[in-house]
Each structure stands twice: as structure tokens, then as C-alpha cells.
Amino acid sequence: MVFSSEAFLYVFLPVALLAYYAARMLPGGNRLSHGVLTLFSYAFYGWANPLFTVLMLGSTLVDYALGRVMVAGKPLDVDGRLPTLTPDTPRTRRQRAALFGSIATNLGLLAFFKYFNFGIDTYATVADTTGLPGLDPSLLLRVTLPLGISFYTFQSMSYSIDVYRGHAKPLRSFIDFACYVSMFPQLVAGPIIRFSEVATQLQQRTHTVAKFARGVGFFSLGLAKKICLANPAAEIADLVFDAPNVAAAEAWLGTFAYSLQIYFDFSGYSDMAIGLGLMLGFAFPKNFDAPYRSRSITEFWQRWHISLSSWLRDYLYIPLGGNRKGEARTYVNLAMVMLFGGLWHGASWNFVVWGAIHGLMLGFERAQGKASLYRRLPAFASVGITYALVCFAWVFFRAATLPGALDHLAAMMGQAEPTSAAFAVRALAWQPYNLVMMGLGALIVWGAPWQVWDFTRSLTPIRGAVVAAALVLALVQLSTQSYNPFIYFLF
């Protein structure tokens, strides 16, 4: 189920909110509401395929049990909660084994469901070119990628790691833990909510009309971003990237459209997730911070998909040694993190190349140090160069294949021989509606004085009217469009 679907908006969400608040009014309301939320989240997840819920339940059970194993035998806290492990005490073999079990289970699931097909296809390609014995396709299993597995395995893993490190108390209640892992606002496309980021709120949080109304603001503006800006941009991007040999102008337009699509699609989803969280009393951290206004790739990663970049920093880069083990090791660590980040997005060489480009750029900027090339340029130039580099990498992210990405880059350089299809792309891409929407998108990205986060802080009557207008516009436009899933559902 996607947020921008009638089933979610007109049936699931009102019923879920009603049941949630009804549960809160009953005795034991906090736990009960978590139970209700978990049930609805499983229904939300099972909407894509009921069998996926079995997988999520299995993963949840394993991590919950291993969290309990880590503190087994330790006395409960005075408030009856499980104890936090002391950060400085050496861990026992049992605790290390539990952590290993959790990481192995989650990464194993991810590896199997996400990378099995990739491995088989890569082997088949190598076998084709080298003459190695091929694989009989009829005997091979084709694995279906469960929705959002990259997100919930990372969340679940963060629980075990936080408990192991002594950064969070393990949960005694399975319902609370299942609620954390499965919470529908951020289940299938993030933001990745680390356990330590919501641990306290799971125990206690407030529900106020201000929070709910701000949630409405986040949700409405996020929905408008998705329906009114990301979807039209997607139409242009699909048109251009699916056609062979387009002319340079259309190749640039397609790349620009894709950069807007992925930004509005994903940041719109994050806004909606944050909004829904607020309606349920949770405050989720910021996930986007005007990334296309970054003055360097380093800064871009501090503003783009912050929940992923900070997860990778804290759970991969720093454990690998970060920048504490010398210059050479720092570069290796950076490259590894970005390659892993690329592969996290999808099982394809395109994502590896995308990660490698960002890794190289991060390394390059680090080598430049304080006297970085960017720092000496005026803001508009460094923002422009950074955006161009990001777009260059997006080509690999969007193209269906590596040769397809190279062809598109060649087209951007005017090196492609336009076919008759290129003329049709020209006629269809430069339609007034597309230009209006692209212009509006660009204005919001580079010209808007506020982001959703700031805009909803003070809900004045005018801002309230803007939120309401955005919601109505999005719902009206939604009525004419067909189903259009979020890009990050695929990761």
C-alpha cells in the first residue's frame, strides 16, 4: 500500500487513527495502542503480499529474542524494565554471539532476498563471456524482493547494536518491539528510525492537537510534493530514459526531471512519514535538508537521506575505524561505505557505480581539505557544480543498465545519433504542462524560503490555508492519475 493511494487515504488511515486513539483511551492504553499499531502495520505491509509478513515477523522474533539474550541473567531496573548494558564493560561470549546472530540474520535475509538474483545474473554474464559452464535457468529459483526489506532489516539491526553497545535498554515487551520494527509510517521506505531514536518515545510520548495539526501539515505538503511534482517529473524522466538515442537537450531535461522526481518522491515520502508519526505521537528526525543547495558532495550527504547516511556512519564507517586509522585507511573506509550504500539501494552494477562516484568525490574533497576547490568558489558556482555531479551520478542510478547509462551520458554530450523516436521525445517532453511543473519544482528546490520542517513550525492561518490547498490539490490530481509507487519502495 502506498500513501498516495485511495485505499490508504480513505480507508486504512482513518480506520487506523480511530482504532489507535480508541485504544489509547482504554486502561493500559500505551501498550494496547502499540498492539493496534502493530496489527495495522502488518496489514499495511501484507497489502503488497501477505507472505511478506511472515518474513518480517520472523526477523522481528529473532532480534527480540537476541536482545533478551544479551541481558539475560541481569537484574531488572527499579522501574521493572530490562537493564541497559554498561558501555565500558567487556561483553561476554554470549552477548557477542547474540549480536553476531542478529547481524548475520538480518544481513543474510537482505543478501538472499536482494542479491540472490544479482549473483546468479552476474555469474551467467561471466559464464557467457568466459565459457564457464552456465546455469540451467529452469532449475533456478527467482527470488521476489520483499517490500522495504532494506529498511526494516537496518532498523532491526540497529536495535541489537544499540542494546549491545549499551546505548539503549532492550525492550521487555514483544509488542513494543514489533511496533517499533513494523510501524507503518516508515516501514517500507524509511526514514530509517534507529531504535535509540525512538526508545524513549516508545515508553512515553505526548499526543497534542499541535502535534497532530503539524502532522497534517507534513503529510499534506509531502503528498503534494509526490502527486503534483514527483509524478509529472517521473513522466518526463521515463519518457527520456526509455527512449534510445535522444538529442542532447532532451537528455539533459530527462536528467533534470529525474533529479526532481527522486527528490520530491523521496522527501515527499519522508514528510508524509514524519507527519503520520506526529499524528501517532512520535517525533521522527529530519531526513532531508535541502540537499540540492549543498556546496559539496560531503555536504550533500549531510542533507540527503540523513537517516541512511548517519546509519552508515555510525554502524559501518566508525566501526571500520572511521578516520582514526590513518589517511589511507580513511579513504578505504569511505569507499567501502559508499559502495555498500550503493548496493543497499539495489542489486545492480549501476548502483555500485553510483556509490563509487560518490565515494570518489568524498575522497577527493577530503584530500582537498580546507583549501577545497568548492570553498574558493562563489556559492552559486559550488552549488551548481555539486548539483551537476549529483546529476551525473543519478544517470547511473536511473538507467536500466550500465550501457544504457553510458548511452545517456553520450546523449547529454550530444554524441548520440538521434532516431525518429528522439523527435517524438522532443514533442512530448517540452509540453507546457511539463515545463510549468519543472519550473515550479526548480523554484521550490532553489527558491523557497522554507522547507516543510520550518514551514509547519508556526501554523498561522495563511500557512494553514496553504496546507489545506496543497492537500485538496493533491487529492484532486490523484483522482486522475493511475497507481504510481514511490521510487524507494523498490529498494
Partner 1 sequence: MLIDREKQAVDEMANTTGSPWVLWTLTYGFLLLLVIPTATHLATSSATLIRTGIAIPKALTGLPTGPFDASHDTLQAIDAFEAELRNGSPLAQKLRPATQTALFRTLGVGNAQVIAGTDLPVSPRVGRRLYFRPAVQHVMGPPFLSQARLKKRRREGNAWTAAIEPDPRPAVRHFAEDLRRRGVELMVLPIPVKASVDGTALRVPKALRNPSWDPFLASLDRLGAGGPNVLDLLRKRKGAQFLETDTHWRPEAMDAVAQIVAASLKKRGVKTGRRLRRTAPVEVQATGDLADLLGVWPGTIALDTVQVPTLGSPPDRSKATVLVLGDSFAGIYEDPSLGFGDHGGFADALAHHLGQPVDAIVVNAGGAWQTRQALADQADRLDDIDVVVWLFTGRELSLGDWRDVRLPETDAVVDPRWVRVPDGEAGLPIRGTVTAIAPTANPLSSTYPDQVVALSVAIEGVPKGAPGSVAWLMAWGLEDRIQQRASELAVGDQISVGATAFGDAPRAALTAGRSELPSRPTAVPLLWVNQWESP
Q: Which residues are catalytic?
A: 345
Q: What's the grid cell of residue 411?
A: 546523449
| CB 147 to partner 1: min, Å | 12
Q: What's the grid cell of residue 120?
A: 546468479
Nearer to partner 1 by Cβ, of 216 and 338: the residue is 216
| CB 279 to partner 1: min, Å | 9
Q: What's the grid cell of residue 163?
A: 542494546
Nearer to partner 1 by Cβ, of 332 and 402: the residue is 402
SS3 labels along 444-457: HHHHCCCCHHHHCC
Nearer to partner 1 by Cβ, of 6 and 327: the residue is 6
Cα within 13 Å of Cα(119), Cβ side: 11
The C-alpha atoms of residue 61 and residue 56 are separated, in whole angstroms, by 9
| CB 238 to partner 1: min, Å | 9
Nearer to partner 1 by Cβ, of 339 and 437: the residue is 437
| CB 379 to partner 1: min, Å | 26
* b/e map 189-226, b = 16+ CB within 10 Å: bbbbbbbbbbbebbeeeeeeeebbbbbbbbbbbbbbbb
Q: What is the dihedral of CA 468, 469, 470, 473, to 10 degrees?
A: 120
Q: Is 323 helix (H, G, I), strand (E, B) or coil?
A: coil
The C-alpha atoms of residue 146 and residue 442 are separated, in whole angstroms, by 34
Judge contact between 67 and 171, C-beta under 8 A.
Answer: yes
| CB 424 to partner 1: min, Å | 4
| The one-letter amino acid at 269 | Y
| CB 199 to partner 1: min, Å | 7
Other C-beta atoms within 10 Å of 323: how many?
Answer: 14
Nearer to partner 1 by Cβ, of 233 and 361: the residue is 233
Q: How far apart are the first and last CA of the chain?
A: 15
User: DSSP H helical segments within 74-186, as ranges?
Assistant: 93-130, 149-165, 174-182
Nearer to partner 1 by Cβ, of 44 and 387: the residue is 44
| CB 222 to partner 1: min, Å | 13
How many residues does this entry show for the chain?
Answer: 491
Nearer to partner 1 by Cβ, of 42 and 374: the residue is 42
| CB 255 to partner 1: min, Å | 18
CA 283 → CA 289, 300, 395, distances in Å? 16, 24, 34
Using CA of residue 326, residue 328, residue 334, residue 336, what is the dihedral sign?
Answer: negative
Question: Within the chain, what is the greatest distance between any pair of CA atoms?
Answer: 75
The C-alpha atoms of residue 335 and residue 462 are separated, in whole angstroms, by 47
Nearer to partner 1 by Cβ, of 11 and 413: the residue is 11
What's the DSSP call for residue 296? S
Nearest to residue 326, comparing CAs of 292, 359, 366, 281?
Answer: 366
